[in-house]
Amino acid sequence: MKKLMIVLSLLALPLTALAEGRILGRVVDQNGDAQAEVTVRIAQGKTFWQGAITNDAGFFRLEDVPAGEYSIAAYAKGKIRTWYGSIITNDATTRYDIEVHSLEPEKPEVAKKKTNE
C-alpha cells in the first residue's frame, strides 16, 4: 500500500508543474486615474516571461502563467518605471493592481497678483 501511494504521488507531480493561472490587474496613477497603454511585464529572475498593455480603462491580463514566483513591472512614456516584489501565482486568478507615478514633478499653483484698479 505504501508503494502504491508513492507511485501515485510521483504521477501527480507533472500535473502540478503544468498548473497555469492568470494575473489580472489595473494600472492607475497617484490620483487613482486609469492609465492606458502602460506595459506590464512579469519575469523570473532576469528572464522575461510575458507582458501585456493596459486598455483604455487601465486593465491588463496575463494568461497561461505557470504557477511560480514572479516580479512584475509597469512602465510607460513619461512615467517612472516601477518594479514590484514577488507575486506568487497558482492555478487560479491572481489580482494585482499597480500605481505608477509621473516623471515630472507636480507644478505648484502660482498665485496671481491682484491689482487694484
Q: Which fold has domain 19-100?
A: Immunoglobulin-like (2.60.40)
- State the burial class of residue 66 (Cβ atoms within 10 Å of its Cβ: 0-12, 13-18, 19+): middle
User: pLDDT tens digits, residue range 68-112?
Assistant: 889 998 988 877 777 777 788 888 898 989 888 876 655 444 444
pTM equals 0.69
Instruction: Sketch the domain layout of the chain as residue ranges.
Output: 19-100
**Pairing between β-strand 68-75 and β-strand 39-44 as defined by DSSP bridges:** antiparallel
Can you name the residues that pair with 68 across neighbouring β-strands? 89
User: Kindly report the CA angle at 29 between 24 and 30, in degrees rounded to 5?
Assistant: 125
